[in-house]
């Protein structure tokens, strides 16, 4: 609803500001006079500049209209005297049974909280600015990749179209070649239209020569020459006439014989040709370099998101640090890099917890892996998968574990007992070393979507 000026002569004029001290809405003209009278001493709100609600200092509860001089700690809300009053036979205030104090008592606390909020907002402002820049860069990069992807698709289909066009031209040329090879009387047929007129003309000329032959004044050699011309020209026509019985042999049946099954298969392949595969390169925001596609394949190519729960270099080097971040978080995957460059880890859908030698079993969903060997090692049915202990974590395996970090996450140990170990990996994860130093260890929560 649009606020109007409070001055009686300006009641139809739109208000542009509100004075908290005077409790008045002001139009442009009134605001000018107000500034001349009071300057900046009065707390004044500009309307239409992000202010969603004007604070009048008065309670907005029905029939209250008292000054907001108290603070309800229970509801974290300002209130007036009537809000906290309990009067017999009258409606009680909304905060009569709440923990209420004077606004003076809460002033220092709110001021300190404001300072903390300001500090948080300053950090948030910097983070948002950095995030905005990163997001814009990602958007620009993705747009470039999108256009590059389109160009690649166009190149492939242009090549297909060119191949189809070449095949079409080849077949058309083949039709002409076969036609010319079979239809050898084509030139004669093209002359058929002129043969009747030629016959008539030669007939008339022959009769004329025959009449001239009786005239002794005409030279015989001239007449004979004319006869020879008629003879030579009529022989071609007579030859065609003699062969007219063979005209049916000139009929050639041409057919285009596409294989309907091949065409159907080809069209089906075209309809399914190619696919758009968008890979998220940053599923794991890891400090450890590894082939993320291996992890995706080991997780059976199911779609998932990964949330970083724990990073040793960030969160600490004690088992309790791991438990604080990773206990009861659902599906987890652990990545480990040793100081000698061996990269391995394990995945489980069992819950980590701070217990005392609590073994858990799930051979179907728990496995170990080695990035160096690009191999996945599944859990034996008859063995425990993980062990939860407040002084150790992570611990993959049973009494003879393949991965165990005890007392500190800086050092690990792998057993090599083919008769007892859980995943039958021995010390393959760390290239035969029983004791090894940890460079980095990370734990991620896996959520399937």
Residues 310 and 437 in one domain: yes
Q: What are the tens digits of pLDDT across the range 199-248?
A: 888 888 888 888 888 777 778 888 888 888 888 878 777 776 666 656 55
Is the confidence at residue 309, as pLDDT, over 90? yes
Q: What are the tens digits of pLDDT across the range 337-353?
A: 999 999 999 999 999 99
Q: What share of the chain is helix, strand, coil (3-state, %, to 5)?
A: 40, 20, 40
Residues 244 and 302 in one domain: no
Listed residues 197, 218, 250: the one ending a domain:
250
pLDDT interval class at 328 (50, 70, 90): very high
Which pLDDT does position 243 carry in this prediction? Answer: 64
Residues 325 and 427 in one domain: yes
Q: Which residues of 403-415 are buried (b: 16+ CB within 10 A; e: fewer)?
A: bbbeeebeebbbb
C-alpha dist (Å) from residue 393 to 192, 306, 337: 102, 20, 15
Residues 233 and 303 in one domain: no
Distance CA 276, CA 148 (A): 13
Which pLDDT does position 43 carry in this prediction? Answer: 64
In this structure, is residue 262 part of a structural domain? no
Residues 246 and 296 in one domain: no
Q: Identify whether the C-beta of residue 138 lies closer than 8 Å to the C-beta of residue 131.
A: no
Residues 432 and 305 in one domain: yes
Rounded mean pLDDT of the chain? 85
Q: What are the tens digits of pLDDT across the range 109-128?
A: 999 999 999 988 888 888 88
> DSSP assignment of 137-201, as one string?
HHHHHHHHHHHHHHHHHHHHHHHHHHHHHHHHHHHHHHHHHHHHHH-TTHHHHHHGGGHHHHHHH
Element (H, E) at 411: strand 411-413
Distance CA 101, CA 78 (A): 10
In this structure, is residue 257 part of a structural domain? no
In this structure, is residue 238 part of a structural domain? yes
Residues 303 and 409 in one domain: yes
Q: Which residues of 191-226 are buried (b: 16+ CB within 10 A; e: fewer)?
A: eeeeeeeeeeebeeeeeebeeeeeeeeeeeeeeeee
In this structure, is residue 281 part of a structural domain? no
Residues 245 and 375 in one domain: no
Q: Which residues of 420-447 are buried (b: 16+ CB within 10 A; e: fewer)?
A: ebbbebbbbbbbebeebebbbbbbbbbe
Residues 311 and 440 in one domain: yes
Residues 343 and 230 in one domain: no
Indicate the Cα dihedral angle 208, 210, 216, 218, nearest 10°.
50
Which pLDDT does position 123 carry in this prediction? Answer: 84
Listed residues 250, 272, 301: the one ending a domain:
250
Query: For residue 400, what are the contacts with CB-CB under 8 A and spacing of at least 6?
Result: 415, 417, 420, 421, 422
Distance CA 359, CA 387 (A): 4
Q: How many CB atoms lie within 10 A of CB 5?
A: 22
Q: Which domain holds residue 49?
A: 1-56
> DSSP assignment of 202-248, as one string?
HHHHHHHHHHHHT-TTS-HHHHHHHHHHHHHHHHHHHHHHHTGGGGG
Phi first, then psi: what are they for 380, rounded to 5°?
-70, 140
Q: Identify whether the C-beta of residue 331 lies closer than 8 Å to the C-beta of residue 445.
A: yes
Residues 240 and 324 in one domain: no
In this structure, is residue 361 part of a structural domain? yes
Listed residues 218, 233, 250: the one ending a domain:
250
Is the confidence at residue 317, as pLDDT, over 70? yes
Q: Which residue has the higher pLDDT, 413 or 197?
A: 413
Distance CA 7, CA 134 (A): 51
Is the confidence at residue 415, as pLDDT, over 60? yes
Q: Which residue has the higher pLDDT, 192 or 156?
A: 156
In this structure, is residue 350 part of a structural domain? yes
Whole-angstrom distance between the N-terminal and C-terminal Cα of the chain? 45
Model confidence, pTM: 0.43
The answer to whether the bond into 242 is cis (omega within 30° of 0) is no
pLDDT interval class at 365 (50, 70, 90): very high
Total domain count for the chain?
3
Which pLDDT does position 48 carry in this prediction? Answer: 66
Q: Identify whether the C-beta of residue 384 lies closer than 8 Å to the C-beta of residue 402.
A: no
In this structure, is residue 436 part of a structural domain? yes
Residues 369 and 222 in one domain: no
pLDDT interval class at 250 (50, 70, 90): low
Q: How many CB atoms lie within 10 A of CB 53?
A: 7
Q: Identify whether the C-beta of residue 101 lies closer than 8 Å to the C-beta of residue 120.
A: no
In this structure, is residue 301 part of a structural domain? yes
């Amino acid at each position: 609803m649009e606020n109007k000026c409070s001055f009686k002569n300006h009641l139809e004029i739109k208000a542009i500001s509100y004075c908290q001290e005077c409790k008045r809405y002001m139009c442009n003209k009134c605001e000018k006079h107000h500034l001349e009278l009071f300057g900046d001493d009065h707390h004044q709100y500009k309307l239409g500049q992000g202010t969603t609600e004007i604070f009048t200092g008065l309670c907005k509860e029905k029939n209250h209209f008292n000054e907001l001089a108290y603070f309800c700690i229970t509801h974290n809300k300002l209130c007036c005297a009537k809000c906290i009053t309990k009067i017999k036979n009258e409606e009680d205030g909304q905060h009569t049974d709440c923990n209420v104090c004077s606004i003076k008592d809460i002033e220092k606390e709110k001021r300190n909280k404001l300072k903390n909020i300001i500090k948080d907002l300053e950090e948030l402002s910097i983070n948002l600015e950095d995030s905005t820049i990163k997001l814009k860069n990602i958007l620009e990069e993705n747009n470039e990749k999108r256009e590059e992807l389109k160009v690649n698709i166009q190149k492939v289909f242009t090549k297909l179209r060119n191949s189809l066009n070449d095949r079409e031209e080849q077949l058309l040329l083949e039709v002409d070649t076969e036609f010319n090879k079979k239809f050898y009387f084509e030139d004669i047929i093209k002359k058929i239209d002129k043969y009747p007129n030629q016959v008539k003309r030669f007939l008339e000329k022959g009769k004329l020569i025959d009449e001239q032959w009786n005239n002794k004044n005409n030279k015989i050699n001239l007449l004979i020459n004319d006869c020879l011309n008629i003879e030579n020209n009529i022989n071609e026509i007579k030859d065609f006439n003699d062969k007219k019985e063979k005209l049916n042999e000139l009929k050639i049946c041409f057919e285009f014989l596409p294989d309907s099954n091949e065409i159907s298969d080809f069209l089906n392949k075209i309809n399914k040709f190619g696919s758009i595969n968008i890979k998220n390169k940053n599923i794991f925001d890891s400090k450890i370099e590894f082939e993320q596609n291996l992890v995706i394949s080991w997780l059976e190519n199911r779609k998932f998101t990964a949330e970083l729960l724990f990073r040793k270099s960030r969160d600490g080097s004690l088992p309790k640090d791991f438990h604080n971040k990773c206990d009861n978080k659902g599906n987890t995957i652990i990545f480990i890099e040793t100081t000698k460059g061996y990269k391995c880890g394990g995945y489980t859908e069992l819950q980590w917890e701070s217990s005392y030698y609590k073994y858990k079993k799930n051979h179907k969903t728990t496995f170990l892996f080695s990035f160096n060997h690009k191999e996945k090692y599944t859990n034996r049915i008859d063995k425990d998968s993980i062990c939860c202990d407040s002084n150790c974590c992570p611990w993959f395996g049973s009494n003879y574990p393949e991965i165990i970090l005890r007392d500190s996450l800086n050092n690990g140990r792998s057993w090599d007992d083919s008769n007892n170990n859980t995943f039958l990996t021995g010390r393959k994860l760390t290239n035969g070393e029983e004791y090894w130093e940890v460079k980095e260890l990370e734990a991620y929560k896996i959520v399937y979507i």
